[in-house]
Amino acid sequence: MEIGVLGTGLVGRTIGTKLFQLGHEVLLGSRDEANPKAIAWAKKLGGHHALYGNFRNAAAFGEIVFNCTLGAASLDALHQAGAENLKGKILIDVSNPFDYSTEQLSLTVCNTDSLGEQIQRAFPEARVVKTLNTMNFNLMVDPDKIPGRTNVFVSGNDLNAKGKVTMILRDWFGWKSIIDLGDITTSRGVEMYMILWVSLRRVFSEDERLNIKIMTS
């Protein structure tokens, strides 16, 4: 499959590499067409299946598009990608709306809205599925790094798109406990949880892999 990945940070490169290893054609998109990290990534993987370009190139290329940009820059990146290149496509939103300008880490949007919802509103013809934002990048594509079947969540309005993303999480990335939280408004919960996650990361600083498991009686 041809997949576009927006964002050349650790998240974008990790997901892009995993998809490449699974045999997909991946175009890593960034603000500037000639992003050094994207060029190095494509060179390292080699062949014709690891490509790079700008956000517009990545979105146009992908049958599925991952948003792995910084949350505070996501809407701008997606506008650069272009609504016409996202139309009808599954847009997997992995980002968190962290606001690094405040003294203590906070969110740019929360409580009565979320980044997932903002993206879905801004691109009504994209089929937005929020997922994978609740953990460290290296766990996203390798959940067995933590034993005990921890959870990943999906939020979105399009049931068909959520079904496809659930398949990707399970069959491609190896997730065994996937929880469908509901429509895109449930992005609020998974984004707001990240403030607790940041505290937990500080407590368990010796181990950057950390995730939650939902337990019931």
Q: Which residues bind a copy of itself (CB under 8 A)?
A: 102, 104, 106-107, 110-112, 145-148, 150, 153, 179-182, 185-186, 188-190, 192-193, 195-200, 202-204, 207, 209-217
Rounded to a whole number of angstroms, the minimum distance from the CB of residue 148 to a copy of itself is: 5
| Residues 6 or more apart whose Cβ sits within 8 Å of residue 137 | 10, 11, 14, 15
Query: How does DSSP classify residue 93?
Result: E
Question: Between 48 and 202, whose beta carbon lies closer to a copy of itself?
Answer: 202
| Pairwise CA distance, residues 97 & 72, whole Å | 5
CA–CA distance, 184 with 167 (Å, rounded to integer):
18
Q: Residue written as tokens 């992005």? A: 187
Nearest approach in angstroms of CB 133 to a copy of itself is 12
In the complex, minimum distance from the CB of residue 73 to a copy of itself, in angstroms, rounded to a whole number: 19
Pick between residue 47 and residue 216 the one whose CB is nearest to a copy of itself.
216
Judged by DSSP in three states, 157 sits in coil
> What gap in Å lies between CA 63 and CA 100, rounded to an integer?
32
Enumerate the β-bridge partners of residue 152: 178
Beta bridge partners of 75: none
Nearest approach, Cβ of residue 143 and a copy of itself (Å): 10
Give the residue with the Cβ less far from a copy of itself, 70 or 192.
Answer: 192
Closer of 39 and 192 to a copy of itself (Cβ): 192
Residue 10 or 212: which CB sits closer to a copy of itself?
Answer: 212
